[in-house]
Structure 1
Amino acid sequence: MHHMSVRVRMAPSPTGYLHIGNLRTALYNEFFARHHCGTLILRIEDTDRARYIEGATESLCRSLRAMHILPDEGVWINEAGQLIERGDYAPYLQSKRAERHREYAQKLIAMGKAYVCFCSPAVLDKMRQEQQKAGMAPRYDGRCRLLHPEESAARVSAGESHVIRLAFPREGSVTVMDEIRGDVVFDWNELDDQVIIKSDGMPTYHLAATCDDHDMWITHVIRGEEWLPSTPKHLFIYEAFGWKPPIFAHLPLLLNPDKTKLSKRQGDVSVEDFLAKGYLPEALLNFVALLGWNPSGDREIYTHDELRSAFELEKVNKSGAVLNLEKLDWMNAEYLKSMDTDAYLDLVLPELRKLGGDEALQKRVAMLIRSRLIRLSDVPDVSGEYFHPLRNLNPSIIPWKGQQPADVKEKLAAAREELAGLPDYLWASTDDLEHHIKEWITRRAWQNGPVLWPLRVALSGREKSPSPFELLYVLGREASLARIQAAIDSLQ
């Protein structure tokens, strides 16, 4: 009954951070599992001990949790931050399954599908150099395939260093059926006899992932396109054991804007970095989900639930997807504008508290900057000037087009006097301030420009800023009057 229901896995390596490509793979696995009411498994591929980083698995789980990707089974992190395993197919840390992988390798040897290789790194290096000189593609020449099994066994028992390799056919071809790419044909003679057990006794990805997928009843393997050329090796193992292979789907590569492949090693394309820069998990999730797929094509903003219910592997594009960070900025700004106001304030107020002022001012500033905010790390840039007296106000930007300094001073002094006399209730809303000031300008038979431009620059210190009425409301009476006076004083 078991294997009738959909079972998919995320199988990252614990290298210290969650790369944006791995996030997309995890997301598509999650969408697929939820769409089909299946099971999502988190398995950690940690057999490469040279690249292992302490604490990386915990950090990976925290990143997945922050992105609202919650596996049903496998490795996870409990409330106390300790690693736990849930599910019937433990262990889910691949390195703990090594004994089992070695048993599978021995069975492959017994079937004549794998063999022991004693060639040292120096021998392999010499082989490579000779092949390159002869203009051949460097690969293992299969010399240890010819050894008699009894001789191999004797040399292994004598403690001689060795690896185990798969014995691929020398002719013919193999077809990978892929949900995204269609049928892809590979010639066996193009494939190198893959190492499946390294000299330290640890399995390579090819043996470990294939056997674990079988042992854990994985029905669909959804992974990055870089694994497509390895899939024939995995099919060879399925075939050798007479196992039914899962359905494969290889996701298109992620590309830089110049169409080069997005590097695995770049720290700045990790989920942790995006979150640290102040992108919202929901916006990042929405953005990454659309790298190579769009449910409808007529909009860009989708909730997690909408993405899950619309997801279909067949609809994923074959071609690489460009990582356009301007689009992420746009999307994040949209999320900040449209989210619930209380939730928005919960995000922004902690950033504003660092700048000082009282809570009422912080709340007014939070609402003022909302339409200009791209990510949370921009808060100090777009709001710093509301908390401290303006320094280095440039007097040359205060006058309206062609306006004389004496006229600017007259208008600002009149405005300051008018504002000083306004009752408190008029300071309580932008609209009331706007209505009142504009009426006052009309009564004086002045134009708006020569009054409102100098007033706005006096309050903001910038050529571009929110309206003078928003600024008055946010700054409040005392700070507003002080800024207007400082502007008057700066004009010669």
Structure 2
Amino acid sequence: LRWLGLTWDEGPDVEGPHAPYRQSERRAIHEKWLGKLSAAGLTYPCFCTPLELSIARKQQLTAGKPPRYPGTCRELTEAQVAERLAGGQAAAIRFRVPAGRIVEFTDLVHGPQRFATDDIGDFIIRRTDGSTAFFFSNAIDDALMGITTVLRGDDHLANTPRQILLLEALRLPIPRYGHVALLLGMDGAPLSKRHGALSLGDLRRRGYLPAAIRNHLLRLGHTCSTDRWLDDAAMLEEFDLARLGRAPARFDEVQLRHWQKEGVAQLSEDEFRAWVAADVPAGLPQDDVAAFCRAIRGNVEFPGDARLWAEVVFGTLPPLAAEAETTVREAGAEFFATAAEVLDGAADFKSAVRQIGQRTARKGPALYMPLRAALTGLLHGPELGPLLALLPQREVRARLERARSLAQA
């Protein structure tokens, strides 16, 4: 999250008035509030096994009923509980959900919500291994830490009435809840690995800029008033709970790449140079590095793109791409002989190209494409003049001679 540029005012590694913040360090706090529920008679031990619960669930679904805990252990006597514990049976702790109630709240995204407690059923708040369940620990921590607004995925919408019941029972403050639609792939299915590597770690390794990801995320499930690039201050101004959509947003990497290009354009010269530094040969004069970065930045989407152009400019030109070779052959040997003669020692690239065009009766793509193919091995890329200025004259001559020989063969 720090790499992404998302920082927190209070919490782990920042600390604050509500420490500790790691759930693993808050067990004693959770046990204290669990004890309050137990003292009020609002919990009971449950000895049902996963198999027994699975069978009950299937029976309810077959009968067309919503799956909920059937209350098997709800009315066990103290003696029955003691006997099972003495026999080594593991027990979870369930919360007694009051019968016949309607839990109501207004969701910040989905509007008014109503849940019948008779459809909820008693739920586990401490597992058999002693750990507390999400419904419980999350609600307690939010209340004790003064959280007033909770935004989370709408897969947690059904958890909200459970948490409200817990907080009411403990007389703790209840925050406002908003449930945001989950992201889907472009095929409308839930995001998964088959949609590509989508973790933050994967995006980072692929070279995405944090600010580009932030600009994209702000627009997933949230409407902005502008399509322009937003810095952090502008994002804060743009974000509005009223603009959160109810329909699931679809993750489209084409859109993310759009913001990546915008992000690269926003980098200063120093930031861009630092961003591609690992893909530029070490030991080059700083002036050459600066000129190289200025020449290629319009054609760089990810840091690794700079590696290709660094090899073209500072390395040995690899064999021509198939399309580039075809273009060279079609231009003919005489074209490259003329180009070598004119470019040898030329001070101004544009003037030299005009002269080549006049002498060979070529213009536009017919003039520039063969030159680009011969000098870079590719048919597309950065403006040729700035790249050529970084190439030693002997290398320019060698590449044009290779093209002439290829065209003559």
TM-score, with structure 1 as normaliser: 0.75
Amino acid at match of 2:238: A
Mapping of 1:62-77 within 5 angstroms?
Answer: 64-76=1-13
1:313 corresponds to 2:241: yes
Other-structure match for 2:378: 462
Q: Pick the aligned partner of 2:362 from 447, 456, 480.
A: 447
Note the C-alpha offset of 1:476.
Answer: 3.8
Determine if the alignment matches structure 1 residue 167 to structure 2 residue 104.
Answer: no
Name the structure 1 match of 2:351: 435
Question: 2 CA distance for matches of 1:420 and 1:265?
Answer: 53
Partner of 2:400: 484
Deviation at 1:203, TM superposition (A): 0.7
Match in the other structure for 1:398: 328
Question: Is the Cα–Cα contact under 8 Å of residues 330 and 374 in structure 1 kept in the other structure?
Answer: no
Number of the residue aligned with 2:281:
353
- Residues 79-478 of structure 1 mapped to structure 2, 5 A cutoff: 86-131=15-60, 134=63, 136-149=65-78, 151-152=80-81, 156=85, 160-263=89-192, 268-296=197-225, 298-353=226-281, 360-393=287-320, 395-399=325-329, 408-422=332-346, 426=347, 432-439=348-355, 441-442=357-358, 444=359, 446-448=361-363, 451-478=367-394
Is contact 2:183-2:190 (8 Å) kept?
yes
Counterparts of 2:74 and 2:193, CA distance in 1: 35
CA deviations on 1:107-158 (whole Å, 9 max, x unpaired) are 2233233222122334334434544555554432102111235654675577
Amino acid corresponding to residue 321 of structure 1 in structure 2: A
The secondary structure found in structure 1 opposite 2:165 is helix
Percent sequence identity over aligned pairs: 29
Deviation at 1:243, TM superposition (A): 2.5
Contact 2:213 2:256 in 1 (8 A): yes
C-alpha distance in 1 between matches for 2:16 and 2:382: 55
User: For 1:376 and 1:215, how far apart are their aligned partners in 2?
Assistant: 45
What displacement does 1:231 show? 0.3
Q: Is the 8 A contact 2:375 2:396 kept in 1?
A: yes
Q: Is the 8 A contact 1:196 1:207 kept in 2?
A: yes
> What secondary structure sits across from 1:144 in the alignment?
coil
- After superposition, give the CA deviation of every residue in 1:360-414 in whole Å (9 maximum; x if it has no partner): 55443322221121122333345533333333335432155xx5xxxx3223212
- Quick one: which amino acid aligns to residue 307 of structure 1? M
Tell me if the contact between 1:131 and 1:137 (Cα under 8 Å) persists in the aligned partners. yes
Measured against aligned partners, the alpha-carbon deviations of 1:206-259 in whole angstroms (never above 9, x if no partner) come to 110111111112111122211111000000011112223111111221111111
Cα separation, 1, equivalents of 2:254 and 2:196: 19
Partners of 2:89 and 2:319 in 1: CA distance: 76
Q: Give 1:75 deviation, angstroms.
A: 0.7
Unaligned runs of 5+ in 2: none
> Aligned equivalents of 1:233 and 1:479: distance in 2?
73
1:395-447 residue CA offsets vs partner (Å, 9 max, x unmatched): 432155xx5xxxx322321221222243xxx2xxxxx32034315644x4833
472-481 or 275-284, which deviates more: 472-481
Q: How many residues align?
A: 404
| Counterpart amino acid of residue 487 in structure 1 | A
Task: Determine the C-alpha separation between the residues in 2 that align with 1:357 and 1:490.
Answer: 31
Q: Deviation per CA, 1:55-75, whole angstroms, max 9, x where unpaired?
A: xxxxxxxxx221222222221
TM-score by length of 2: 0.89
- Indicate if the aligned counterparts of 2:299 and 2:381 stay in contact, CA closer than 8 A: no
Partner amino acid, structure 1, of 2:135: H
Cα pair 1:164 1:197 within 8 Å, conserved: yes
Secondary structure of the structure 1 residue equivalent to 2:178 = strand
Q: Tell me the distance in 2 between the aligned counterparts of 1:157 and 1:104.
A: 25
- State the Cα distance separating 1:358 from its structure 2 match: 5.8
Q: Is the 8 A contact 1:361 1:475 kept in 2?
A: no
Deviation digits for residues 132-189 of structure 1 (CA, Å, limit 9, x no counterpart): 5555544321021112356546755776421111122333421231111111122222
CA deviation after TM superposition for structure 1 residue 463, in Å: 2.9
Gaps of 5+ in 1: 1-63, 77-84, 427-431
Conserved in 2, the CA contact under 8 Å of 1:411 and 1:451? no
